[in-house]
Chain A
Amino acid sequence: MTITYADVEPGTAIEPRTYRVTRLDLVKYCGASGDFNVIHWNERVARSVGLPNVIAHGMYTMAQAGKFVTEWVGDPGAVTDFGVRFSAMVPVPDDDEGATLEVSGKVLEKLADNKVTVDIVVKAGGAKVLTRARATVRLP
């Protein structure tokens, strides 16, 4: 089913999703993004600079929030404007479970040209890891 501009109103909720983040995901993201900062893959170094564990790239978490929206629309090209503030770290333990991101969102307002703004909430371990996460999306 494709969501359309006519289907949504301010307040329309997007079905919540959970995304798991493992160490392997972070290693893959290092390679794909070119961000090899050691705190994203080396627990020894991460702890030595005062972090609780290896932490996810902020940009990885932002990408998950983006995926939440592009999966809803079905088109990764539909997001025209996308901004977030990083408010908490996402520690990723060295086990098979990793960390879990709980993502939810709702339509904030309808704009001209079939565009809507969407507010996205991402939580990990009960803490909001992104604030002011807003995307402008063009709907069919």
Chain B
Amino acid sequence: MALNTDFVGRVYGPGEPYEVSRVKIADFADAIGEPSELCRDAEAARRAGYPDVIAPPTFAVVLSMASARVVNDDPGLGLDYSMVVHGEQRFSHSRPLHAGDQVVATTTIESIKAVGALSMMVTSTDLTTIGGEHVCTARSTLVERGAS
């Protein structure tokens, strides 16, 4: 099933605030094997000039995927998630996420294109603090195989 191009420009969110925790950052750093103490030791992070432990750059996917899930699950869009592969991903940070950040995510469908038997959808998720400070924009290209 082709994706519904009427959905280009749709905006989802902002959702409920997500509080970034020290434990979640440490778990994520452990899972990817990131050895830095700046992800685990708040004192070390403060000495390096950060307010608290900081997240590795791809940690933002935890928030952006949760936000994009609302888009992907929208029945009107017509996305068959079992046929989806990740095409491209980009993170543009104004600053690192750190423990204590309360972040809201807003996802926009930027484009939907058919390329042969594939459908490609680009979404952009802005992560901002509840105070309105931009932290990161996550841009994601999903490719749906076998759509026609």
CB contacts (< 8 Å) of B12 on chain A: these are: none
A34 touches which one: B62, B92, B95 (CB < 8 A)? B62
Please state if B58 and A82 are interface contacts (CB–CB under 8 Å). Answer: yes
Distance between Cα atoms of A66 and B55 in the complex (Å):
12
Contact between B86 and A79 (Cβ–Cβ < 8 Å)? no
Task: Determine the distance from Cα of A67 to Cα of B95 in the docked complex, in whole angstroms.
Answer: 17
Q: How far is the CA of A80 from the CA of B58 in the complex (A)?
A: 11
Provide the residues of chain B in CB contact with A10, threshold 8 Å: none
Instruction: Give the residues in chain B near A28, CB-CB below 8 Å.
Output: 30-31
Q: Is the CB–CB distance between A86 and B57 below 8 Å?
A: no
With beta carbons under 8 angstroms apart, the residue of A32, A49, A64, A74 that contacts B28 is A32
When C-beta atoms are compared, the residue in chain A nearest to B94 turns out to be: A80
A81 to B92, CA, bound (A): 4
The winner among A33, A81, A135 for most chain B CB atoms within 10 A is A33
Question: Cβ of B65 and Cβ of A35 under 8 Å apart?
Answer: yes
Please determine whether B36 and A70 come into contact, CB atoms closer than 8 angstroms: yes
Chain B residue nearest to A55 (CB atoms) is B85
Contact of A84 among B54, B88, B93 (CB under 8 A): B88
How many Å from the CB of A68 to the closest CB on chain B?
10
A59's nearest neighbour on chain B, judged by CB, is: B61
The listed residue (A49, A70, A85) touching B57 by CB distance below 8 A is A70
Across the interface, do B58 and A62 meet the contact criterion of CB distance under 8 Å? Answer: yes
**Which residue from B33, B56, B95 sits with its C-beta under 8 Å from A19?**
B33
Q: When chains A and B are docked, how far (Å) is the Cα of A84 from the Cα of B138?
A: 12
Selected contact of A83 from candidates B34, B35, B61, B89, CB within 8 Å = B89
Asked if B38 and A76 sit within 8 Å, CB to CB, the answer is yes
A residues contacting B by CB (< 8 A) are 19, 25, 28-29, 31-35, 49, 58-60, 62-64, 66-67, 70-71, 74-77, 79-86, 132, 135
Told that A32-B62, A63-B56 touch, could you supply 4 new A-B pairs with CB distance under 8 A?
A58-B89, A63-B58, A76-B39, A77-B54
